[in-house]
Amino acid sequence: MEPTWRAVASKLAGDVSVGAIDSTKERALAARFGVRAFPSLYLLRDGAAYAYGNRPRTEAELVAFAQGGWLDADPLPSHRAPNSGVGRALGSIAAAPGGLAATYRRLHHGRGWPALAVVGDTLLLFGGLVEAAHADATLDDVWSLNLKKLDAWACLRPSDVGEGASGDDGEWGTDSDDDRAASE
C-beta separation of 62 from 52 below 8 A:
yes
pLDDT digits (tens, 9 = 90+) for 60-79: 999 999 999 999 998 988 87
Between 4 and 125, the higher pLDDT residue: 4
Q: Interior CA angle at 47 toward 44 and 52, to 5°? A: 30
- The answer, yes or no, to whether residue 162 has pLDDT greater than 60, is no
What's the rounded Cα separation, in Å, for the pair 127 and 114?
Answer: 5
Q: What is the pLDDT of residue 169?
A: 41
What percent of the chain clears pLDDT 90, i.e. is strictly above it? 19
Lowest mean pLDDT, pick from 24-38, 96-110, 146-160: 96-110
> CB-based contacts of 113: which residues, under 8 Å, 6+ apart?
107, 128, 129
pTM equals 0.49
What average pLDDT does range 148-176 have in this prediction?
61
Domains of the chain, earliest start first: 2-103 (3.40.30.10), 112-183 (no CATH)
Asked if omega into 39 is within 30° of 0 (cis), the reply is: yes
Average pLDDT of 35-43?
85
Contact between 90 and 78 under an 8 Å Cβ cutoff? The reply is: no
pLDDT digits (tens, 9 = 90+) for 102-142: 666 666 666 666 777 888 888 887 777 666 666 666 667 88
d(CA 46, CA 21): 20
Average pLDDT of every residue of the chain: 76
